[in-house]
Structure 1
Amino acid sequence: MDPRLTLVTLGVADVDTAIAFYRDGLGFPMQEREPDSDVAFFTLDGTWLSVYPRKLLAEDATVPFADGDEAGFSGVTLAHNVDSKAEVDAILGTVEEVGGRLVKPAADTFWGGYSGYFADPDGHLWEVAYPLLTAE
C-alpha cells in the first residue's frame, strides 16, 4: 500500500449544512454535484474531503449505526497547518460565524507551536496550528 492519504470522508447529519460550512463558510473549493446527490467533494491541496450522510457511511462500511447523538470523543482529529499565529487566530475567529464551534482557543503548545481546535456542525474536530520549527 502506498503511504499516502487521498480522501477523507466525514459522516454528517446533513450534507447541505456541511456544504454551507465547508464551501460557503470556510471557502473550500467544491466539485460540481447533482442537486439530489448524497455526497459532496472538496478539492484540497494533495487530497480530497468528502461529506456523506453518517448513516449511509456506516452502511457502506458495514458497521453498526447508532441513531442520535454520539457521546464522547471519536478518536480522530483533522489538522490544518498555517503560516502564522495570526492566521490561526483568524480562522478560529471565523468558525462560529459560519456554523462551527470553538472547542479550544488558540494557545502556545507544549510541542513548541501554537494551535486551537474547532468542531464542524457534526462535531468533527479540526486543529488549526502554526508549527514553530527551529533549526538546530
Structure 2
Amino acid sequence: MSLERRISLVTLGVSDVARSTEFYARLGWSKSSASNDNVTFIQLKGVALGLFSRASLAEDAHVEDTPPGFSGVTLAYNVSSEIGVDAVVKFAVSCGAKLVKAPEKVFWGGYSGYVADPDGHLWEIAFNPFFPLDEHGHVVLPD
C-alpha cells in the first residue's frame, strides 16, 4: 500500500474560530457551507483549510494543548514573482496579519517573507524559481 502524494485538509487550531474566519474572509477566502459555529472549512486550490478550536483540536488528537509558540508547522503560499511576494505580504498585513519576516532573497535561491495569522500560524509567501506554478496556481514539483 502507498498513499497518494496529496494533502486533503490543513487544520489550524485557533483561539477564536469566528475571529480567524473573519481574517481569512478579509483575504478573500470564502467559507464552505459545510462550516458551522465550531469549525470553518475553506476550499482552496487542491486542498481545504480548516479552522477549529485549538483546545478541541488537541482533545481530538489526544495531545496536550501547550501554550502558543512555534508549532513546527508553516503553510506556504507560492506566487510567480518577487513582486508578487511583496504584494501578497502587503495585502495580508493590511488584512490583519503580523509581519514576521520582511520579504528578502533567501539562501535557497528564491525570495520569501513570513506573516502570521491572528493565532500566530506562520505563512511563508514565496517565489521559488525551482517550483513553477501551473495554470491553476498549483506548485509543480520536479519528479
TM interval, short-chain normalised: 0.7 to 0.9
Q: Contact 1:79–1:127 at 8 Å: present in 2 too?
A: yes
- How many correspondences in the alignment? 129
> Secondary structure of the residue that 1:20 maps to in structure 2?
helix
Distance 1:21 1:126 in 2: 13
Question: 2:11 matched to 1:9?
Answer: yes
Give me the TM-score of the superposition, normalised by structure 1.
Answer: 0.87
**1:1-136 counterparts in 2 under 5 A?**
1-23=3-25, 25-32=26-33, 37-66=37-66, 69-71=67-69, 73-133=70-130
Q: Give me the whole-angstrom Cα distance separating, in 2, the residues matched to 1:76 and 1:133.
A: 22
| % identical equivalent positions | 47
Runs of 4+ more than 6 Å apart? none
The C-alpha deviation readout for 1:30-84, integer Å capped at 9, x for no partner, is: 21256x6200011111010010010110111111123xx423x211111011011
Partner Cα separation in structure 1 for residue 83 and residue 117 of structure 2: 21
| TM-score normalised to structure 2 length | 0.83
Over aligned residue pairs, what C-alpha RMSD do you find? Answer: 1.7
Q: Once the 2 structures are TM-superposed, how far is the Cα of residue 95 of structure 1 from its aligned partner?
A: 2.1
Specify every segment of 5 or more residues in structure 2 that has no aligned partner in the other structure, as ranges: 132-143
- Give the corresponding residue for 2:139: none
Cα separation, 1, equivalents of 2:42 and 2:6? 18
